[in-house]
Chains A and B, each alone.
Chain A
Amino acid sequence: MLHKRLYQFLIVYLIGLSVLLGFKYGLSLSDYVIPGVPMIWKAAEGASGRYVADTLNTLGVAVVGHMISIFLATVVGILGRRRSWAGSMIRAAAYNIQAYPIVAVAPIIFILLGDGPVSRLLIAAMICYFPLLLSFMGIFSEPVKDIEHFFNATGRMNWRLQVKIRAFENMRKLTTVIVGSATMAMVGTIVAEFIAAANGIGYSIRIALYQSDLAKILVALFYIGIFTSLYLFCLEWAGFRIEKRFETPKEGRG
């Protein structure tokens, strides 16, 4: 799984780089517009240490933000699964709020909370929270009738059992949604850093942008891709282990 993730990223990265270099050499653009391979290599040698640290800093914030949003989406998804007016209200609110581009409120967060890690964390969590919430509410509010019928009929059903049944039956969907939202958490953190923060790889990209240093930006993108792939692999591996633990071997069916 890990090597697949890394191969996928490296292929995309190298294609992107090749296109850029193709433009450079095809249109005879200067190193100032698009740097050549030696300049990129030099930038990598000079900035790698700092960029790795910055990317890890960003990843740390993204991971915590992602975990917070998973927790919140689970809690609100469980509350929103109910058919009561409260459940309906939570669902309607979630659907309406998620329609607004959350990143647009990032400046307000920076004004109110400053440019520290709390702002980055909040923005990362908000950006991946709503897609997670919608998926979780969809999963938790959809009855698994063929399993739940017995527990309902015999009066054994409670909210914990209901959530357990629905989560278990949709484990693959949940894993896919969580893995998908991890990229959004990383994007959210980088965007937050890019807008106003004074830390992380997004901040470093902003500085490189002000210096019009595309070589450094390409190096930063490389490390973002590598570490994001590693995080996605960890999530996929965890989901795979959970699925494997409860997987039903198909052999022996009569």
Chain B
Amino acid sequence: MRIHCNHLTYRYPATSLYVFKDLDFNISEPGFHALFGPSGVGKTTLARLLAGKENDHSGALRTEAVSRILYSYNTERLPGWASVGMHLAGVTREGQKNRLEELETVFGLTEHLDSRFGQLSMGQQNRVNLARYLVQDFDLLIMDESLANVDEATREKIILCIKRIFPGKLFLYISHNVAEVARFCREILVLRGVRRSPQAISIHGQDQTSDDRSDAAELERTMLEIVHAS
């Protein structure tokens, strides 16, 4: 399972503004990886290119052993005609009902299943949205600020749960939280903007799989690396 990017160049249609020029990076194994960088640097554009929602780029952007890519983002909504529980049950794949129940519990959604999506807070809405993607068939799930507005403790529980349930899948988590990506992600791809070279730097994260916070010095070192790179 691999994402390979070689000399990727892309600019928005009908503009002369380059988002990427000769961008290179590699993500070569499954796991929970991050896409990090300041606002406007092209994280969402790269995610959309990967998901096939944007085209007309030059250079190579290839995946290997990844046949199904899903892209979730934080402003998605559910239709308002049914309750959250009915919607989740309706979109869950055959044989995934138990997984859905587990996710509902860990994500703290159990008591909101009878509510309509519009009744939920933004954090709850993002959790519901992410849960429905996790019960689909995918090899790579791009989470574009999918845990925005969720409190830190719940975010931590959710990320650890995802890492435990899906060890063989590839995740690309877009977040602005340095501590979080440093602690939980395996590879952190720091995008730095089209004017800097290299445009992307890959940093090894702590890839923690439990809430053990013992290695604070290592975590601090990774965080500093990310901040210096960005």
A contacts, CB < 8 Å to B: 146-147, 149-150, 153-154, 156, 164-165, 168-169, 246, 248-250, 252-254
Contacts and interface: CB of A to CB of B under 8 A. Distances in A.
A250 B51 CA distance: 34
A253 B120 contact: yes
Contacts of B117: 248
Nearest to A171: B80
Q: Which 7 pairs across A and B sit closest by C-beta, in order of nearness?
A: A254-B121, A248-B118, A248-B116, A146-B77, A147-B77, A146-B76, A154-B136
Interface in B96-149: 115-121, 123-124, 129, 132-133, 136
Contact of A147 (B70, B73, B76, B123): B76
Q: Give the one of A147, A149, A248, A252 with max B CB within 10 A.
A: A149
A254 B109 CA distance: 13
A contact patch SS: helix
B200 to A, nearest CB: 25
A156 B118 contact: no
Given A146-B75, A154-B91, A253-B119, A248 B80 contact: yes
B91 A156 contact: yes
17 contacts: A147-B77, A149-B76, A150-B132, A150-B133, A154-B70, A156-B91, A164-B79, A168-B79, A168-B80, A246-B81, A248-B80, A248-B117, A250-B119, A253-B119, A253-B121, A254-B120, A254-B124
A167 to B, nearest CB: 10
A168 B87 CA distance: 15
B137 to A, nearest CB: 8
B78 interface: yes
B10 interface: no
A156 B133 CA distance: 13
B71 interface: yes
Nearest to B116: A248
A254 B78 CA distance: 18
A185 B132 CA distance: 45
A156 B135 CA distance: 14
Interface in B52-108: 70-73, 75-81, 91
A252 B117 CA distance: 12
Contacts of A156: 91
Contacts of B120: 253-254
A254 B133 CA distance: 23
B123 A254 contact: yes
Contacts of B71: 149, 153
B170 to A, nearest CB: 16
A113 B218 CA distance: 88
Given A150-B129, A154-B91, A250-B118, 9 more contacts: A149-B76, A150-B72, A150-B76, A164-B79, A168-B80, A169-B80, A248-B80, A248-B116, A248-B119
A169 B78 CA distance: 11
A246 B136 contact: no
A8 B106 CA distance: 56
Nearest to B124: A254
A147 B132 CA distance: 13
Nearest to A252: B119
Contacts of A246: 80-81
Contacts of A168: 79-81
A160 to B, nearest CB: 13
Contact of B79 (A149, A154, A165, A253): A165
